[in-house]
Each structure stands twice: as C-alpha cells, then as structure tokens.
Amino acid sequence: MTAPNKPLNDLMMAQQPIFDANNTLFGYELLFRGQNEDFADFFDGEKATSQVLINLCLGITELNVQLNTPLFINMTGNLLLSDAFFPIDPSQVFVEILEEQEITNDLIQKVAAWHEVGYEFVLDDYQFSRDYDPLLPLVKMVKVDVLATHPTQYKNEIDALLARGIILVAEKVENLEMLALCKKMGFTLFQGYYLQKPSIIKGRKIDSAVQMAVELVSELQNPNISIDKVAKLVEKNPKLSYQLLRILNSPICGIPKKVESIKEAVIFIGLNQIKKWALLITLTSASSQPIEMFRVILTRAHCCQAMCRINGQVNEDTGFIAGIMSGIDAILAMEKQEALDQIAISSTLKGVILNYEGEIGKYLKVIQSLEKNNWDDISNLPQKTKIMLSRCYGEGVLWANSTLTSLQ
C-alpha cells in the first residue's frame, strides 16, 4: 500500500477575524463552507456546525488560527441541548447562539449548565428583543449586525447592555463611518468586510467510519460499559482510532497527553468525550475506502499484537496500535510522516512505525515483508520466528475477516 502525496485542496471552512478598537486581532469566527467558497450554502445547521468542528479538530489543514486566539463558533439550539455538545476546551472558544433560536426554559437551563463549567456565550445578530432577557446574565458578549440593525436606533438598549458589563461586538462593519460610530457608542470588538473579508481554509478532510461510530454510540448507552470494552470497539476501526488520537493531540481539546495504546487514549479522553465525538462523527461522515485496505491493516495489527503477546516482554496494545498506524498513510492518502505528526503518539512509537525500531519494530517489518511476499527477508528469520509469524498472521486474517463481516 502506497500513499500519493495528496495536496491540501479540500474546502474546510472559512475564518473571519474580529478586531479590537486598536485594530489588533482578537479572535476568529469559523464559518461553514460547503461546495462554494463565497457563502455558506447549507440547509442543516447541526450538520454545518458539526462539519466545522470535525474539520477543525480532525482535518489536516493549513489553518492559520493561533491556538491561543479565541474561536467563535455558531451553535444551534439542538446541539446545545444534546449530549453532543462539542468537546473543546472552554477556554478556547466563544459559543454563538444563533439569532433565530427559540428561547425556551430547556435552552436557558442548558446554557446555564454549560456556563457553569466554563463555556462563554455570545448572542449572535442581537436585535434587542426582550425574549433574550433570561439569557443576558449568562452571556459574555452580544453581536449586533450594524448593517441591518443601526445602533443609533437602540442607544438606550446599548447603554443598558454596557451597564451589565456585556461586551458589544459590531458585525458587518462596512465602512469607516460605521466603525467610528460604533466605537463612540461603546462597542469594543469589530468584524466586517471593511476590516477584512472571510478567508478560505483549505486542507484535507478525513472521512470517518459511520458504522463503527454508530456501534460505539450504541454501546456507550450502557451505563456499565467498561474502558476495556470501549477500547476494543475503537480498535476495530483504524480511522476512528486515528481520529481519537488526533483529538487527544489537539491543544484545543485540553488533553496534552502522549499515549501508547487505544486504551490509554480512551482513559484520558474519557467515556463522555468519546460519546460526544462519536455522535459528531456520525453526523458528518461516511467511509469510502476499499474494504481490502482495512483487511490488510487489521490483519497486520492483530498479528503484531499476537506476536507481542507471545514475546511477553513488550506491550501487546502498543503492538496493535503500531500495526494500525503503520497503514494510516494509505487510509488517508498522505505521507506517513505527515499523518503521524498529527496524532498523539510517543516518539518511541513513531520510531517503531517509521524506522522499525525496537522489538515491536522488528515484528512490524517481518509482517510487512510477508504481506509483500518478500521471501528473501522471511527465509532469513530464525525458525522459531517463522512459526510464530505464520501462526499469528493466520489468526490476524481470521480476526480481520470476522471484524469486517460484523461491520457490513
């Protein structure tokens, strides 16, 4: 299996900067883009928001947002009310509540709960309706579309918001005159074409295995599910394994931990976070890779794990993840080094995968020699190793076939 060097050409999202009164960058609003770079051509708000989140955390991008720069992300009411609320570190984001959202008691209670654990909220496209009054104690900022809602018509309301300590954001600032007026009236953050238009972020989207995500979500409904059970479910799918490791590696998720196995990843991400990501992945993705590619990789991983188990001196879970990640370049159609740089694995494990270092590296190399029918390398192995390789590879084939059958 070889991976072409696929360029970063997928349309991922757009970003529009938000500036302070000194024209210094404050943060970025992330905007959904479908097939059109110029506007958000979507009908499903939940799917659009989920796609932005998935692309942000799981995609390979040329994103120029600095990780210490706040991100503004639109969130529909349904996502706010669901258990799929995105698992991103609260210190990294401002959650925008959309203007058409119906303000219900359930929504107010949910926003209060998220606010309690540290999330900051913004009322988007605020039109000074009293319906939003119950949310005002819970919001950090209010964004006013000054093109559609001229601020001079709402001076008293603006003064009242400022008296509450709410930060005002002027959006759709189209000219210098409006910028000056908004500053005079007490706005402190500014966004609009006069300052800078949205810029397109290109990258490479990583599809997910929906069937595995659905199975994982279903299993997670069991309140007595164990960490071991979750780890086994995740291990069955190389792409989901990769995605969860990328989540773990992403600073915006707030879990800076290098791991050696899927079980470690599940422990550090946590069952609740796993559930959230599985729900989001299910909303936005579908697997399109040839089944034979997965068969080879799953066989390799199981074989490597079994050889480590027989050895008794090396971690069998590390052997499994080495086998899975050794084929991630073929799954994602990208260079192996580039793929491995995106995920939370130790330098030791990278050495195993890239340079066949250590005992596990030796096992991985002979397994791949067997896959390629490289009999010269196989013939030079000690007889004991040949027997172990033959036995473990056979077990791997049976296990991979069984696993793939269960997913079809």
Residue 269: pLDDT above 90? no
Helix, strand, or coil here: 255? coil
Q: What is the mean pLDDT of the chain?
A: 78
Determine the average pLDDT of the residues in 176-197. Answer: 91
137: which DSSP letter? Answer: G
Contacts of 131 (CB under 8 A, 6+ apart): 103
Reported as a pLDDT band with limits 50, 70 and 90, residue 260 is: confident
Residue 118: pLDDT above 60? yes
Reported as a pLDDT band with limits 50, 70 and 90, residue 283 is: very low
Helix, strand, or coil here: 347? helix
The Cα 407–Cα 361 span in angstroms is 29
Query: Among 37-46, 216-225, 265-274, 376-385, which is the least confidently predicted range?
Result: 37-46
Determine the average pLDDT of the residues in 4-28. Answer: 71
Reported as a pLDDT band with limits 50, 70 and 90, residue 300 is: very high
Reported as a pLDDT band with limits 50, 70 and 90, residue 4 is: very low
Per-residue pLDDT, 69: 76
- pTM equals 0.60
Reported as a pLDDT band with limits 50, 70 and 90, residue 166 is: very high
Are the C-beta atoms of residues 27 and 196 closer than 8 Å to each other? no
Residue 330: pLDDT above 80? no
Residue 362: pLDDT above 80? yes
Residue 200: pLDDT above 70? no
Are the C-beta atoms of residues 124 and 97 closer than 8 Å to each other? yes
Query: Among 37-41, 181-185, 351-355, which is the least confidently predicted range?
Result: 37-41
Handedness of CA 220, 245, 205, 15 (dihedral sign): positive
Residue 165: pLDDT above 80? yes
Are the C-beta atoms of residues 189 and 26 closer than 8 Å to each other? yes
Determine the average pLDDT of the residues in 3-7. Answer: 46
Tokens 């172990």 locate to 388
How far, in whole angstroms, is CA 399 from its chain's centroid? 29
Contacts of 338 (CB under 8 A, 6+ apart): 60
Tokens of 66: 């600095």
> What residues does 199 pair with on adjacent strands?
15
376 versus 76: the higher-pLDDT residue is 376
407 versus 244: the higher-pLDDT residue is 244
Instruction: State the first-to-last Cα distance of the chain, in angstroms, to the nearest integer.
Output: 23
Contacts of 153 (CB under 8 A, 6+ apart): none
**10 C-beta neighbours (distance < 10 Å), count:** 16
Q: Is 401 left (phi over 0), alpha (psi -120 to 50) or beta?
A: alpha
Q: What are phi and psi of 121, to 5 degrees?
A: -120, 150
In 269-335, at which residue ranges do the beta strands (DSSP E only) sit?
Answer: none
Residue in 82, 61, 73 with CA at minimum distance from that of residue 205: 61
Query: Among 46-60, 111-125, 267-281, which is the least confidently predicted range?
Result: 46-60
> What residues does 190 pair with on adjacent strands?
19, 170
Residue 99: pLDDT above 50? yes
Tokens of 341: 């740089």
Per-residue pLDDT, 377: 84
Residue 195: pLDDT above 70? yes
Residue 28: pLDDT above 90? no
Reported as a pLDDT band with limits 50, 70 and 90, residue 35 is: very low
Tokens 């988007």 locate to 124
| Percentage helix, strand, coil for the chain under 3-state DSSP, each rounded to 5 | 55, 15, 35
How far, in whole angstroms, is CA 19 from its chain's centroid? 26
Reported as a pLDDT band with limits 50, 70 and 90, residue 286 is: very low
Helix, strand, or coil here: 119? coil
pLDDT digits (tens, 9 = 90+) for 51-75: 666 556 555 555 544 456 788 888 7
In angstroms, the Cα distances linking 293 to 144, 297, 330, 361, 400 are 51, 6, 8, 21, 11
Helices of type H across 221-342: 227-235, 238-249, 262-269, 271-284, 291-311, 316-325, 328-332, 336-340
How far, in whole angstroms, is CA 302 from its chain's centroid? 27
Helix, strand, or coil here: 248? helix
**Residues 33, 37, 43: CA angle, nearest 5 degrees:** 35
Per-residue pLDDT, 354: 94
